[in-house]
Structure 1
Amino acid sequence: MYPPSFPVISTASPRIINITVSSNGDHTFKARCTAEGEPAPALTWTSPHSSNLTSVTNANHRVTKELQYLTHDGKYTCTAVNSHGRAEGSVYFYKFKASNSSFFLILIFVPLGIKVLVLLVILGLTLFPRGPSTAPSILARPQPQDSTYENFDRRCDGSHSLPTEQPAARCS
């Protein structure tokens, strides 16, 4: 390097160091371009909408120009020019816009509804299986039971006796 006693005269073509887009905090956006060169370059912004306000900061061989209130989607280009050349840098700005139509809600809730319906069907088939059940049903009709005493008061000859009569003799 040169000793500090000798002045250095340097020249450099412009170079874009940084281009950023950020929020102002109040839901508006700004773009900032920083360039360097010797002599300090002049910065200009080219945008889809040309009435944006700008501010310039100059420090040594660096220049920063801010484009305030970005409102339109599109390509924003920063151009740095000095007596030794020209440099450009671009940034694309797009705001996310929420859909006001019900199509977006339908797109989300129809598949969700189908999944819930399938889950309920699977749950129903698991908890209430079809086919014979081993557990007695509350609504089932009671069936008459077969009695072992069904033919107790029959006689061997096929006649019936009343309950007050003597029991019939056993048939052999």
Structure 2
Amino acid sequence: MIFHIFCALMMMILGSVPTGQRLYATNNCTIVEKGGVIRFKVCAQQEVIGVRGEEVILPCRFNHIKQNTFKDLYLVLYKNKGNRHNPKQNSVYNSSSNYTADDFKGRIEPAGNPGEGDGSVRIRNLTMEDQERYQCRFLWTESNGKKDGCSIGESRRTNLQVDVRPKILNISRAFVNSSNSWKLFCEAEAKPEPNITWWSPQGLNLNASQVGVDEMYQRKPQHFMSGLIITNKLIEGKFKCLVQNMHGEDHKYVSFEQKSQKVSGRLVLWTTLLSIVLLLVLLTVGFYIFQKKCKNQGRAGCTGTSDIQEQDQSDDKTYMGLAKTSQVSESPVYERIGN
């Protein structure tokens, strides 16, 4: 209410609202009235939602009781800059001079005829930086040469919101704790927040967790991560990640196979081969040590029969010695008997 009174005073000072006229606003319009007759009004849509990369129209219409007598009627579109309490107005488009701000070159054009009171503007290839509040202002020259103008009220300015269609940025999988437990990951960006669901190869909806990766900023799409843990018997096939919000959907698949068994088989095979190689190395080293010992002790020491042969030879010598000792000369014996 205070703002409306302030606007009325300012417009009276500027000559836009002569004494006796009343300034007021409806949901979308700023109106000047005198004697129950609407002198002029400017109407704009307060909330407009566009999608990044696409186009949007900012509606703005003007009507004046003496509009047919105007020599020139054109639109200037302003974009707020700065914070909410201290915004700065920067003109981004002028239908009279075709002026276009650098950020909007090649992307902004009239969607109506400003000369007939339709100041709607089309913005193509929306970016997150386009999200802001816009104010349309009509300027004209009356038949007597007087220049005048009227803007939509501050509280009726158009708030452009730029949303983002869902887009999957990454989908992957990883082991969790054991070879029989897997976790599937699906990262996506969207605005507003999407709903992320997982679907099994059999077409069943699976329960999954969903978290926001970073904070929601006014001019930035939010990233979301969804994780699905598979703890039951592994199911081969393609798992589907589906991301949806009010502007559309996106989906991708991650293939899943029972590779854990193959990995275990390979592990057993490599372990067996390593064991065989290690055994061969030990045998080779043992044989080398044995041969070296044989070389130092001689051949007899390698065969292990030297002690037996030495024992046999000792026994033979003993027997031979006993035999020699037991032999008695026959002649002396006989001789003694004869005597």
Aligned to 2:82: 3
| Equivalent of 1:14 in 148, 166, 189 | 166
Is residue 40 of structure 1 aligned with residue 188 of structure 2?
A: no
Residue 115 to residue 33, structure 1, CA distance change in 2 (3 Å) = same
| Equivalent of 1:110 in 276, 279, 283 | 276
Decide which structure has greater strand share: 2
Residue 132 to residue 62, structure 1, CA distance change in 2 (3 Å) = closer
| Equivalent of 2:181 in 28, 45, 53 | 28
Deviation at 1:37, TM superposition (A): 0.9
Range 6-15 or range 82-91, more displaced: 82-91
Q: Indicate the SS of the match to 1:40.
A: coil
Structure 2 spans left out of the alignment, 5+ residues:
1-79, 85-132, 134-158, 217-221, 300-305, 314-339
What TM-score results when the alignment is normalised by the length of structure 1?
0.51
How big is each residue's C-alpha offset from its partner over 1:90-128, in whole Å with a ceiling of 9 and x where there is no partner? Answer: 3656553334xx867654433332222111111212232
Taking the aligned partners of 1:10 and 1:75, their CA distance within structure 2 comes to 34
Deviation at 1:21, TM superposition (A): 3.3
Residue 36 to residue 4, structure 1, CA distance change in 2 (3 Å) = farther
How big is each residue's C-alpha offset from its partner over 1:113-162, in whole Å with a ceiling of 9 and x where there is no partner? Answer: 222211111121223227968xxxx85869xxxxxxxxxxxxxxxxxxxx
Superposed counterparts of 1:1-172, under 5 Å = 2-5=81-84, 6=133, 7=159, 9-19=161-171, 20-21=173-174, 23=176, 28-48=181-201, 50-51=203-204, 53-57=206-210, 59=212, 61-70=222-231, 71-82=234-245, 83=247, 86=250, 88=252, 90=254, 92=256, 94=258, 96-97=260-261, 98-99=264-265, 106-129=272-295, 139=307
Decide which structure has greater helix share: 2
Structure 1 spans left out of the alignment, 5+ residues:
143-172
- Identity among equivalent pairs (%): 19
Amino acid of the residue matched to residue 35 of structure 1?
A: A
Q: Is the 8 A contact 1:49 1:72 kept in 2?
A: no
Deviating 4+ runs (over 6 angstroms): 102-105
Aligned residues: 136
Deviation at 1:9, TM superposition (A): 0.9
Taking the aligned partners of 1:96 and 1:88, their CA distance within structure 2 comes to 23
Q: Which structure would you say has the larger RCO, counting Cα contacts within 8 Å and 6 or more residues apart? A: 1
Taking the aligned partners of 1:80 and 1:57, their CA distance within structure 2 comes to 11
What RMSD in Å do the two structures reach over aligned CA positions? 4.2
